[in-house]
């Protein structure tokens, strides 16, 4: 009994350490975002005179140009919109093509389906840097540089294989008899897919949808490569522009950081039940 308690205590301590290791940098960013510049440089944890000034920087259309980092900050709302457009489209493409591909791989026996699956997996193992130049050249020759489409295509390239793998595993846990029952009840093959199969697999679909959205939202490398103006720059790229400002106001950057992670975190909280069920279901099922 005592051994059991000891084991549990040690386990919890380790879990807390791991959680702190991940959370502390974010926590610090959040706290700093409410501080005055002066306080932040003193490496203090709790703001003495909390302020929203840092956040307001991002939403003042005609900000005081003398303010440090103001030029970059003013681009934030538009950049968040760009990120949203890119992430949303990436998510939609992942769900639409991913579910169709995964359904075919999970349910139909056709020549080369294993080869296809391995190809998808293999494509994930290619480092982005290796195909950076070819991709850039392709985008340039099709006139896609500095458009949302370029970033969307790049992000889909990296998220779709993952989506297909996860969904295929998840789809295989759905009993075949469900669709057969639907067929006997009068559905065509597509009817059974839309009326029975997809509603049953909603948790898995939501999970991969959120995953693809968040991966696109946080991606920096290809976004930086393909975008050059505020008309296509996502928020990760704009955030990095702070580095080019003459002076960096720490607290403003922190507020920007909070704004960037806010949406994914809200999404994750809302759908956490589905994310855990979806991913867990796919792995254990």
| Binding to another protein in span 198-257, by CB under 8 A | 199-200, 202
The values of phi and psi at residue 45, to 5°, are -95, -50
Where does 33-188 have alpha helices with state H? 37-40, 53-59, 70-74, 76-107, 113-124, 132-141, 148-172, 176-184
Binding of residue 261 to another protein (CB under 8 A): no
The first and second tokens of residue 158, run together, are: 């990296």
Distance (Å, whole) CA 240 – CA 255: 13
Instruction: Select 134 or 186, whichever has its Cβ closest to another protein.
Output: 186
9 near another protein (CB under 8 A): no
172 lies in the binding site for another protein (CB under 8 A): no
CA–CA distances in Å: residue 4 to residues 9, 15, 205? 9, 16, 39
Decide whether 139 or 207 has the Cβ nearer to another protein.
207
Instruction: Decide: is 112 part of the binding site for another protein (CB under 8 A).
Output: no
How far apart are CB 183 and another protein at their closest, in Å? 4
Q: Which position among 22, 118, 137, 178 is part of the footprint of another protein (CB under 8 A)?
A: 178
- Applying CB under 8 A, the site for another protein has a residue count of 18
111 scored as a contact of another protein (CB under 8 A)? no
Q: How far is the CB of 109 from another protein (least distance, A)?
A: 9
Distance CA 278, CA 98 (A): 15
188 interacts with another protein by CB under 8 A: yes
Stretch that binds another protein, among 80-88, 162-170, 174-182, 275-283 (CB under 8 A): 174-182
Cα Dmax for the chain = 72
Q: Minimum CB separation from another protein for residue 181, in Å? A: 4
Report the alpha-carbon distance of residue 157 to residue 152 in Å, rounded: 9
Beta-carbon-side half-sphere exposure of residue 217 (alpha carbons within 13 Å)? 21
With respect to another protein, which residue has the nearer C-beta, 78 or 195? 195
Q: What is the DSSP letter of 130?
A: G
> Where does residue 47 fall: left (phi above 0), alpha (psi -120 to 50 degrees), or beta otherwise?
beta
> Which residue from 47, 77, 128, 191 is in contact with another protein, where contact means CB under 8 A?
191
Residues found near another protein in the complex (CB under 8 A):
175, 177-178, 180-189, 191, 196, 199-200, 202
């Amino acid at each position: 009994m005592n051994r059991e308690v000891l084991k549990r205590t040690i386990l919890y301590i380790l879990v807390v350490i791991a959680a702190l290791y991940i959370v502390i940098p974010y926590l610090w960013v959040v706290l700093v975002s409410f501080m005055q510049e002066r306080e932040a440089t003193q490496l203090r944890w709790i703001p003495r005179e909390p302020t929203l000034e840092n956040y307001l920087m991002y939403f003042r259309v005609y900000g005081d140009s003398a303010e440090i980092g103001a030029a970059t900050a003013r681009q934030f709302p538009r950049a968040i919109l760009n990120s949203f457009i890119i992430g949303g489209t990436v998510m939609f493409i992942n769900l639409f093509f991913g579910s169709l591909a995964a359904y075919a791989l999970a349910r139909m026996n056709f020549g080369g389906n294993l080869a296809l699956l391995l190809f998808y997996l293999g494509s994930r193992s290619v480092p982005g840097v290796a195909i950076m130049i070819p991709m850039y050249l392709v985008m340039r020759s099709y006139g896609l540089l500095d458009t949302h489409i370029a970033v969307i295509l790049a992000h889909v390239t990296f998220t779709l294989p993952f989506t297909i793998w996860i969904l295929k595993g998840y789809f295989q846990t759905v009993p075949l008899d469900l669709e057969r029952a639907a067929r006997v009840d009068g559905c065509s093959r597509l009817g059974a897919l839309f009326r029975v199969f997809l509603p049953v697999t909603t948790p898995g679909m939501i999970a991969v949808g959120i995953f693809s959205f968040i991966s696109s939202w946080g991606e920096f490398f290809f976004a930086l490569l393909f975008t050059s103006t505020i008309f296509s720059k996502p928020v990760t790229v704009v955030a990095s522009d702070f580095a080019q400002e003459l002076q960096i106001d720490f607290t403003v950057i922190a507020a920007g950081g909070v704004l960037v992670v806010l949406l994914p975190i809200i999404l994750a909280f809302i759908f956490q039940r589905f994310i855990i069920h979806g991913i867990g279901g796919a792995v254990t099922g």
